């Protein structure tokens, strides 16, 4: 078929379309879909026994606040990435910076006062269950997110896949605070941030680069 | 001149808006103009025998993703981003072996390139006027006359690193001046 024939065919049976909504609306939709996915996944968990006391601790409030803020920024970045031309690296970087600051705060609290036993306990390999929980909590939000983002026309696939994975990991880490009773900063740093973020990022890029292509 | 004032940008955006409302005639005109506009870039980026296919893939992509254009955006960057994406995609799909040495950033198809390419002499001179004499001379030698860094260095009596720095600063200045009107 010649290009001119294709153009004739496409224009002859043209139907009206509605433009994608504004970026802030799309961000809201992204966050809502992820929240629904998270709520469904959370049904498989039970709240930590000391939740009431934990929620009034500064570490918990700071952690939850930073993760929520990071999640909002990353969701906005994802909504921008739906369009072909938008440059979103600064928002993506801002979200990561917020999580980075949280990680540094955990590291600081874990190292001062320096106590090797508590450090080793925090990094205990059994904590890997928390990373797996975060991965589990991220699955449904990730699927919902993927279905929404497919409606757009992302042209930076790797970036979007990474952004998607980070966004899910942040939300998973936020949710796990309500289920995991361990407060040790090093545990939170290693098993709630570093390992799941690295793992989900790798997995996100691996899967995302294939399924996000259009 | 900035993109907002570009004749093509204004006309194509309007055509796209009308097309989104279901106007087939406007859509046909839009696609024909897009074909004409993109054909040289596609031919430059992929082998001749594949050019027609890639062009059709781009037109199809624009068709299926036309809802992602909104009136707050510029049309040309939107259109070229899709074209660039599809060209890269087709190159990756066709020549797996060449992918290893393939750098997507080499394909410089952006609305900026397009707009720059359609500058009149007066507009070009106005942009160049923002550069210092030294930068102007170096940009002319390297970017317009096609001299290598080494040749430009010999001709101007500067060191090679000075030439590189001057080009970098000049392009940065040109870019910010070009984009200045958008903000």
| CA–CA min distance B161, chain A (Å) | 29
B111-126 per-position pLDDT tens digit: 555 555 555 566 677 7
DSSP state at residue A194: I
| CA–CA min distance A16, chain B (Å) | 4
Asked if A22 has any chain B CB less than 8 Å from its own CB, the reply is: yes
DSSP state at residue A191: I
Cβ distance A85 to B74 less than 8 Å, yes or no, reads yes
Asked if A87 has any chain B CB less than 8 Å from its own CB, the reply is: no
Q: Which residue has the tokens 């942009």?
A: B127
Instruction: Examine the pLDDT at A108 and tell me if it is beyond 60.
Output: yes
CA A39 to CA A27: how far, in whole Å? 18
B 4-23 residues inside an 8 A Cβ radius of A: 19-23
Cβ distance A14 to B22 less than 8 Å, yes or no, reads yes
ipTM of the complex: 0.78
Q: What is the pTM of this model?
A: 0.73
| CA–CA min distance A209, chain B (Å) | 12
Q: Which residue has the tokens 């984009």?
A: B179
Q: Which residues of chain A neighbour B31 with C-beta distances below 8 Å?
A: 7, 10-11
| CA–CA min distance A105, chain B (Å) | 37
Asked if B89 has any chain A CB less than 8 Å from its own CB, the reply is: yes
Residue B182: predicted pLDDT: 44
In a 3-state reduction of DSSP, which class is residue A75?
A: helix
Q: What does pLDDT average to over chain B?
A: 79
CA-based nearest residue in chain A for residue B69? A19
pLDDT band at B3 (very low <50, low <70, confident <90, very high): low
Residue B103: predicted pLDDT: 57
Mean pLDDT confidence for A31-60: 93
**How many contiguous H segments (helices) and E segments (strands) does chain A have?**
10, 0
Q: Which residue has the tokens 């031309």?
A: A85
Non-local CB neighbours of A99 within 8 Å, separated by 6+ positions? A66, A67, A70, A166, A170, A193, A197
Spatial contact of A142 and A164, defined as CB atoms under 8 Å apart:
yes
Q: Which residues of chain A neighbour B179 with C-beta distances below 8 Å?
A: none
Asked if B99 has any chain A CB less than 8 Å from its own CB, the reply is: no
Residue from the list A10, A19, A214 with its beta carbon closest to the beta carbon of B70: A19
């Amino acid at each position: 078929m010649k290009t001119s024939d294709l153009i004739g065919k496409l224009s002859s049976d043209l139907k009206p379309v509605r433009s994608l909504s504004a970026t802030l609306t799309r961000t809201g939709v992204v966050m809502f879909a992820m929240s629904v996915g998270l709520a469904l996944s959370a049904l498989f968990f039970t709240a930590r026994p000391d939740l009431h006391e934990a929620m009034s601790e500064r570490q918990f409030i700071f952690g939850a606040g930073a993760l929520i803020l990071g999640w909002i920024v990353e969701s906005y970045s994802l909504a921008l990435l739906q369009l072909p031309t938008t440059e979103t690296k600064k928002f993506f970087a801002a979200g990561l910076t917020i999580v980075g600051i949280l990680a540094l705060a955990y590291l600081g609290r874990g190292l001062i006062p320096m106590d090797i036993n508590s450090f080793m306990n925090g990094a205990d390999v059994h904590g890997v269950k928390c990373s797996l929980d975060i991965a589990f909590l991220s699955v449904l939000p990730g699927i919902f997110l993927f279905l929404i983002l497919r409606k757009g026309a992302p042209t930076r696939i790797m970036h979007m896949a990474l952004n998607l994975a980070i966004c899910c990991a942040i939300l998973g880490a936020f949710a796990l605070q309500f289920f995991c009773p361990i407060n040790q900063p090093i545990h939170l740093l290693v098993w709630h941030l570093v390992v799941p973020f690295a793992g989900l990022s790798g997995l996100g890029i691996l899967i995302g680069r294939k399924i996000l292509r259009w | 001149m900035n993109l907002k004032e570009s004749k093509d940008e204004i006309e194509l955006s309007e055509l796209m808006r009308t097309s989104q409302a279901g106007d087939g005639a406007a859509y046909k005109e839009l696609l024909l103009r897009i074909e004409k506009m993109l054909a040289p870039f596609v031919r430059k980026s992929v082998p001749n025998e594949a050019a027609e296919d890639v062009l059709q893939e781009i037109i199809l992509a624009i068709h299926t993703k036309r809802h992602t254009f909104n009136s707050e955006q510029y049309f040309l960057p939107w259109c070229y981003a899709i074209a660039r994406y599809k060209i890269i995609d087709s190159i990756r799909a066709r020549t797996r072996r060449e992918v290893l040495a393939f750098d997507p950033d080499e394909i410089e198809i952006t609305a900026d390139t397009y707009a720059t390419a359609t500058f009149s002499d007066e507009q070009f001179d106005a942009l160049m006027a923002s550069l210092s004499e030294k930068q102007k001379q170096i940009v002319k030698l390297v970017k317009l006359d096609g001299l290598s860094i080494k040749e430009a260095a010999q001709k101007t009596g500067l060191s090679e690193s000075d030439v590189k720095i001057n080009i970098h600063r000049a392009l940065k200045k040109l870019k910010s001046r070009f984009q200045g009107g958008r903000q």
